[in-house]
Amino acid sequence: MTLKILLANPWIYDFAAFNLWSRPLELLRAAEYLSSFDTKLLLIDCTDSFVDE
Domain count, the chain: 1
Q: What whole-number distance in Å separates Cα of residue 29 and Cα of residue 27? A: 5
In a domain, 50, yes or no: no
Instruction: Give domain status of residue 8, yes or no.
Output: yes
Query: 11: domain range?
Result: 3-45
Cβ pair 40, 11 in contact under 8 A: no
Q: Which of 16, 23, 17 is nearest to 47 (CA)?
A: 23
Mean pLDDT for the chain? Answer: 82
Q: Determine the pLDDT at residue 5.
A: 96
Q: For residue 16, is it within any domain? A: yes
Residue 24 pLDDT exceeds 60: yes
Q: How confident is the model at residue 38, as a pLDDT?
A: 92
Residue 30 included in any domain: yes
Instruction: Say if residue 41's pLDDT is above 70.
Output: yes
Q: Is residue 22 part of a domain?
A: yes
Is 40 domain-assigned?
A: yes
Q: State the pLDDT at residue 35.
A: 94
Q: Contact at 8 Å (CB) between 2 and 38? A: yes
Round to whole Å and give the CA distance between 28 and 23.
8
Query: Does residue 31 form part of some domain?
Result: yes
- If one counts every other C-beta atom within 10 angstroms of the C-beta of residue 34, the result is 14
- Within-domain flag for 52: no
